[in-house]
Structure 1
Amino acid sequence: MSNSRAARHRTGPIRATVAALACCVAGALVLAAGPASAAPQPDFYTPPAQLPAAAGAVVRTEPMPLFATVPAADGNWPTQARLVMYTSRLQDGTPTAVTGTFIDSAHPWQGKGPRPTVVIAPGTSGQGDQCAMSRAFSTGMVADTDPLFLSANQEAPSAAVWSALGARVFVTDYIGLGTPGIHTYANRVEQAHAVLDAARAAIALGDGGPATPLALWGYSQGGGATAAAAELAPSYAAELNIKGTWAGGPTADLEQVLAQIDGNLIGGAIGFAINGFVARHPELEQTLHERLTPEGAAVLDTLGTECIVNVIAQQPFLRTATYTADHRSLLDNLRDVPEAMAILRAQRIGTLAPSRPVLVTSGRNDDTVPYGQARQLAVDWCDRGANVTFRTNELPPVAPGTTFVNHFGPELIDGFGTDSAVRYLLDRFDDVPLAPGCSLT
């Protein structure tokens, strides 16, 4: 049987497996969601005074029960995971500590070859330390009343699906989420470093070597992070055996994304990006505050401590023009500042070429991460000789500006549906031939 026929032969069982896993994960999430934990920031997230010199080195680990997942092959549940601290690099090369969750699968690998590792880059969770994805992995969500916050483990389904298929999984928290310093939201270089160094740490934890098959998986903020990692891997982590990447709904052109979400349900996420820029470029702070009202500056500070659920509940449909001195949008104000626009445009993904296959997906009617800039990313990579598959999700517009249907809907359909990102990456692990060049549909 040819490789392509073999792939088609396995498609039916894989679809059934993923569908069954989705049901199991949904049940596990319901059980895991209550009651939410309310705990102070654990000491684990404070790095030691001296970090290992190498990027991707494991600093420390500790066991962590993993409730929101599929039971192990022997029926044991909950499964054990590990909370991990590893080393990475800021955009200027300064060593830093990052945390994440490592799941060493208790299921047989469903594909060919050695057991692979899938590195998951989360979608937007917030900017406060309590929003780190690892904080919610043992309970499904974490919450408190002083200060008021709620953060859910939105990556439990994808982690559980890959774990049940027999892959090892590592979910990064990103730089500055949980650990000291601010989370530099959508920072192209720092997100890429966090993802690629998570792969290095996962290889060490799984007792693997340079040949360990890897895949990168992300949607929305996570899609931007995996896209950035895919194109930086040849220069930053050339030793990694990345078989393929899913960059779903990627935040590839942040200028377009910020314009789109201003006034959207999660418009407050603009504050996450601005706070991150100022953290790495403090010379912008004075210019920014000259253009904000005192209320605007206070909102920006508040957003730096919040999770995305807080934004939805407390600052829904935030319009930045409400908080600027001239009542123009904050983006329009930044467009008057060449230094600010240079920093913003430096976040553009697509100026380099990935050396391994990438699947990019986007909803034509995505009301949060614009379709056009996602497709342009695929075109830019194609022009640079990369192997790219681009797929358009045609879900019609439903309640535009509310994010839930037209942004998250394509994530579920493209990630786990009939012609899914799971299937695409399983084929890459199985070395199913992929036509050279690009497929843009």
Structure 2
Amino acid sequence: MGDAPASSASRTSGPPRAVVAVVGVLAVLVGGWLATRPFTSLALLLLLLLAGFVVAAVSELVDLPEGPTLRRFAVARAGVYALGALALVLWTGAGVRAVIVVVGLTLLIGGVLEVWGARRERGVERWNALLGGASSTLFGLLALAWPDVSVVVIGVLVGVRLVLLGARLVWRAVRPVRATTTGRWGPWVRLLGNAIAAVVAVLLVLVSLSLNRAAPTPDAFYTAPSSVPSEPGRLLRSEPYTTKIPDDAQAWRILYTTTRDEGVPALASGLVVVPRQRSGPIPVIAWAHGTTGAAPGCAPTVIDPFEAGAFFTLDKVLANGWGFVGTDYVGLGTTGPHPYLIGQGEGRSVLDAIRAAHQLTDAGLGEQTVVWGHSQGGHAALWTGVLAPTYAPELDIEGVAALAPASNLPALVDHLPDVTGGELFASYVVDAYTRRYDDVTYREYVRPGAQPIVREMAQRCLAEPSTLVSVATALSLDKPIWAGDPNRGAFATRLRENIPTGRIEAPLLIGQGADDSLVVRSAQDAYVEGRCAAGQQVDYRVYGGRDHVPLVEPDSPAIPELLEWTTQRLAGEAPTDTCG
């Protein structure tokens, strides 16, 4: 934008120097504001970009080169920037995505025109036009391809280009005519700036391609077969699985039917692991994993079957002679949407994984089952316990253990703005709820300027490299992503609906880290207090010095206690009730 080709010697006399200077100063001021001011609102973003395009169009017209062909290219670029400004005015109501499209296309078209016009230039000015146009084209493509980053970066890009343009115009206005005509350094300084911009653009493109290649993608195993039975819990497909499976174990990944909600059929995938040496049916540990993301590629069986969902005790499960059944949940691996922190979809995924695993005749699974879950999986485990008596009454659920469960959803959402990277978890929640519930919308609960960030983050996995870029972009904004208090209206109602408040007939263990920075202890205390008041028996244990993930790491005191508690459940011993 704005690095109009042609040497100084070939410029027309043009308008008075005072006009050129004023336009140059305006370009520097608007560009500097765009490049340094975080976008606090869509209105400010629109205003600054609108001003930037207007100044760019005027700058092209006050700096027309000699020669009809070069003049036509300059006028064409001015027209592109003017049309961009007009489109911003007309599309204001279309939201920030429209802004990104307009700016991206404007940079793209302006850059192409600049590159095309370079054919008419000579020497250093040809390189100026080529590099300036190429960088503008690449930045335009990046804006269109990477909208969550673009919402912040796009202003910086346009701003820097305007500063360079304005500085050139001011320089032209204040230099003596003879020095302007014969000066040697101006074109070379511009060349240096354009070269730096081109290098940055190429690096950003390479980084973008690298991050996209790093995004996990499900293979053909997760594709639905041509004929799918309506009955939930049916095993559709299985195959041996070897990724990070110990030598003394056998494993299969499975594809099975389930229900997202009552009467809404769906598919889910999962993993079954059993010890090679076993005699007779073995007990089942049904694992509900913690947050890995909300997109199909975020399934633990796609990324990492155990570390992705914070399951670090497979060796101990196998050593006790137990089998492992872990669901990916609906929408992870299989087609979404993923019911993130939506109890019905999560709990049914767990129960139907147990049903499907029993159809693996080579696995030798017995009827006794204990459900474990952590974080999001703790929420799923609690809902599994609530749903089991009515949804899968044939299953023998001996106990439910929920570690740092996301049980108190309103409190969790209230706390996320205080968590570093909490916007990522917030994006998973709001995306899942807007997809599931018609009365929860992005427009009502997410600021317009943050909507592209939230939508894009929701499609990235927790461990995906590009997620760091999304989080950094979110942190660069000086306002929360929410449009007001999220705990209001329909969203608050839906969050309360998904608190696992139903009675759990099986013995219940809840473990909580005293220093958990994500699922804070006060929120868990309030949930347990409510369950005790409702007559639910709970064995509630708090572990000092443990944060969210460290609670389930191998050296955590919660792990041996979980194993002992599970052994007691399988032995039929009476559970402890800490409700008093």
TM-score, with normalisation over the residues of structure 1? 0.75
Q: Distance in 2 between matches of 1:95 and 1:65?
A: 29
1:387 aligns with 2:537: yes
* Partner of residue 340, structure 1: 491
Q: Distance in 1 between matches of 2:567 and 2:215?
A: 38
Residues 283/384 of structure 1: CA separation in 2 closer, same or farther (3 Å cut)? closer
Q: Distance in 2 between matches of 1:374 and 1:413?
A: 23
* Partner of residue 274, structure 2: 104
Classify the secondary structure of the residue corresponding to 1:431: coil
1:115 aligns with 2:282: yes
* Partner of residue 439, structure 1: 578
* Partner of residue 302, structure 1: 456
Instruction: Find 2:414's aligned residue among 229, 235, 259.
Output: 259
* Partner of residue 33, structure 1: none
| 8 Å contact from structure 1 (residues 66, 81) kept in 2 | no
Q: Distance in 2 between matches of 1:88 and 1:224?
A: 18
Q: Distance in 2 between matches of 1:42 and 1:158?
A: 27
| 8 Å contact from structure 1 (residues 264, 317) kept in 2 | no
Instruction: Find 1:236's aligned residue among 370, 391, 397.
Output: 391
* Partner of residue 350, structure 2: 195
* Partner of residue 241, structure 2: 64
Letter in 2 for 1:425: T
* Partner of residue 160, structure 2: none
Listed one character per residue, the Cα deviations across residues 163-209 of structure 1 (whole Å, up to 9, x for unaligned) are: 23211111110111111122121111111111111111122225799
| 8 Å contact from structure 2 (residues 373, 403) kept in 1 | yes
Q: Distance in 2 between matches of 1:131 and 1:197?
A: 20
Q: Distance in 1 between matches of 2:560 and 2:242?
A: 32
| TM superposition shift of 1:419 | 5.0
- Higher strand fraction (1 or 2): 1
1:421 aligns with 2:562: yes
RMSD: 3.0
* Partner of residue 53, structure 1: 230
| TM superposition shift of 1:389 | 0.5
Residues 240/266 of structure 1: CA separation in 2 closer, same or farther (3 Å cut)? farther
| TM superposition shift of 1:159 | 3.0
Residues 219/156 of structure 1: CA separation in 2 closer, same or farther (3 Å cut)? closer
Residues 99/200 of structure 1: CA separation in 2 closer, same or farther (3 Å cut)? same
Q: Distance in 1 between matches of 2:348 and 2:297?
A: 21
Q: Distance in 1 between matches of 2:245 and 2:483?
A: 39
| TM superposition shift of 1:238 | 1.7
Q: Distance in 1 between matches of 2:457 and 2:214?
A: 22
Classify the secondary structure of the residue corresponding to 1:244: strand
| TM superposition shift of 1:385 | 3.4
| TM superposition shift of 1:329 | 5.7
Residues 210/236 of structure 1: CA separation in 2 closer, same or farther (3 Å cut)? farther
| Structure 1 runs not aligned, ≥5 long | 1-35, 73-78, 141-151, 396-404
- Higher helix fraction (1 or 2): 2
Classify the secondary structure of the residue corresponding to 1:101: strand
1:371 aligns with 2:549: no
- Counting only pairs closer than 5 Å after superposition, residues 77-96 of structure 1 correspond to structure 2 as 79-96=249-266
Instruction: Find 2:505's aligned residue among 328, 349, 355.
Output: 355
Q: Distance in 2 between matches of 1:394 and 1:156?
A: 20
Classify the secondary structure of the residue corresponding to 1:116: strand
| 8 Å contact from structure 1 (residues 68, 156) kept in 2 | no
| TM superposition shift of 1:410 | 1.9
| TM superposition shift of 1:98 | 0.3
Q: Distance in 1 between matches of 2:457 and 2:415?
A: 18
* Partner of residue 296, structure 2: 129
| TM superposition shift of 1:59 | 1.0
Query: Identity over aligned residues, as a percent?
Result: 24
Residues 160/245 of structure 1: CA separation in 2 closer, same or farther (3 Å cut)? same
Looking at both structures, which has the greater relative contact order when contacts are Cα pairs under 8 Å and sequence separation is at least 6? 1
Classify the secondary structure of the residue corresponding to 1:339: helix
| 8 Å contact from structure 1 (residues 193, 229) kept in 2 | yes
Letter in 1 for 2:535: G
* Partner of residue 13, structure 1: none
| 8 Å contact from structure 2 (residues 258, 352) kept in 1 | yes
| TM superposition shift of 1:309 | 2.3
Q: Distance in 1 between matches of 2:513 and 2:425?
A: 20
* Partner of residue 330, structure 1: 482
Classify the secondary structure of the residue corresponding to 1:47: coil
Classify the secondary structure of the residue corresponding to 2:266: strand
Q: Distance in 2 between matches of 1:116 and 1:279?
A: 37
Residues 48/378 of structure 1: CA separation in 2 closer, same or farther (3 Å cut)? same
Q: Distance in 2 between matches of 1:215 and 1:120?
A: 9
Residues 230/317 of structure 1: CA separation in 2 closer, same or farther (3 Å cut)? farther
Letter in 2 for 1:101: L
Letter in 1 for 2:565: Y
Task: Tell me whether 221-230 or 59-68 shows the greater mean CA deviation.
Answer: 59-68
Listed one character per residue, the Cα deviations across residues 231-268 of structure 1 (whole Å, up to 9, x for unaligned) are: 22122122211111110001011111122222423311
Residues 259/315 of structure 1: CA separation in 2 closer, same or farther (3 Å cut)? farther
| 8 Å contact from structure 1 (residues 262, 318) kept in 2 | no
Q: Distance in 1 between matches of 2:549 and 2:333?
A: 25
Letter in 1 for 2:233: G
| 8 Å contact from structure 1 (residues 210, 239) kept in 2 | no
* Partner of residue 284, structure 1: 440
Task: Tell me whether 327-336 or 157-166 shows the greater mean CA deviation.
Answer: 327-336
Classify the secondary structure of the residue corresponding to 1:181: coil
* Partner of residue 165, structure 2: none
